[in-house]
Amino acid sequence: MKKLYTIRLDGIYLRAYHGCYDLEQQVGNRFRVDLAIHTPLGDLPETDDVARAVNYLTVYEIVEHTMQRTQRTIEAAAANIIEAIKEEFSEIESIECTVSKIAPPLGGKIDRVSVTLEG
């Protein structure tokens, strides 16, 4: 049985231009991305070989770059992140990605709206 481990990147905050309203795509908003990456453990603990691990910096850079692609929905943004990370790291079993829009323009006080996708 293959052992998996989970890498978490929590609270990646950035500015992006996602939204169903044209104004959101022009002025942007703050977003938060949280990731749980499930990948095989293999012989990583014994080898202590960083080249066999998923590189956190690369994951962060993928998220940062992918979030710059303007989307109408945060569902599309989350799907793009999952696809881009799995493209870079083929050994990954699955990724849970939550994209949150901070203080969305809904006409009332709300901290954030979030969507979580797994792929």
80 closest CA partner among 89, 93, 71: 71
Q: What pairs with residue 115 in β-bridges?
A: 99
Give me the number of domains the chain comprises: 1
Instruction: Residue 74: give its domain's CATH number.
Output: 3.30.1130.10
pLDDT tens by residue, 48-94: 667 777 899 999 999 999 999 999 999 999 999 999 999 999 999 99
Domain that holds residue 18: 4-118
Integer Cα distance of 4 and 40 in angstroms:
4
Least confident of 19-23, 78-82, 92-96, 99-103: 19-23
